[in-house]
Copies of this chain bind each other. A is one copy, B any other.
Amino acid sequence: MGDLSEASARAPKQDRSRATRRRLLEAAVACLAERGWAGSTVAVVAEHAGVSRGAAQHHFPTREDLFTAAVEYVAEERSHALRALTGKSRADVVSALVALYTGPLFRAALHLWVAASNEDQLRPRVTELEARVGRETHHIAVELLGADESRPGVRETVQGLLDMARGLGLATLLTDDTSRRERVVAQWAKLLDEALG
């Protein structure tokens, strides 16, 4: 009996710990997107998440730990959402891929990249994270688009599409250019469809 009640007490504690971690990660992405790297400290994120600073530092010893984990966490959430698109038309898949780069996750990631380009402590971790997330997104895109990478040029065609999506995300940073973006995406989805055969 003693063991059982101990085990059931442990489970909710783990759940609470996981929930706290998730709240911190989501608050970190929101802070980065809204305030940029300079305005995003562990203390600001902890307050935003309604978590004590001590608890935040228990989960993430350094600021770099917190923010790279945050961008990775949200990127993984997005990957799961993307995989659910299996079976949709290429035009729908292209729209969904581009949408990945126009929301708060991309804004947050952009702030992290730009900060990393000038901060030696952050750069190696963000570079490694970006490479990993990029490979994963490419892999999912190839599957969803039904692209045959054994054919010459197909790999580069898909890569260029993701580069375009990233560029479209950058264009929305200062102004909402949704209607222009939708026209560009519709046209490039057509070009892509012809190229992939």
Contact = CB atoms under 8 A, between A and B. Distances in A.
How many copies of this chain sit in the oligomeric assembly?
2
A118 interface: yes
A161 to B, nearest CB: 8
A38 interface: yes
A183 B111 CA distance: 28
Interface stretch (A13-21, A139-147, A164-172): A164-172
Interface stretch (A49-57, A85-93, A187-195): A187-195
A115 B157 CA distance: 32
A180 interface: yes
A84 interface: no
Q: Which secondary structure characterizes the binding site on chain A? A: helix
Contact of A117 (B107, B130, B191, B195): B107
Interface in A110-152: 110-111, 113-118, 123, 126-127, 130-131, 134
Specify which of A36, A39, A156 lies most central, judged by the most chain B CB atoms within 10 Å of its CB.
Answer: A156
Contact of A157 (B116, B171, B188): B188
Contacts of A167: 162-170
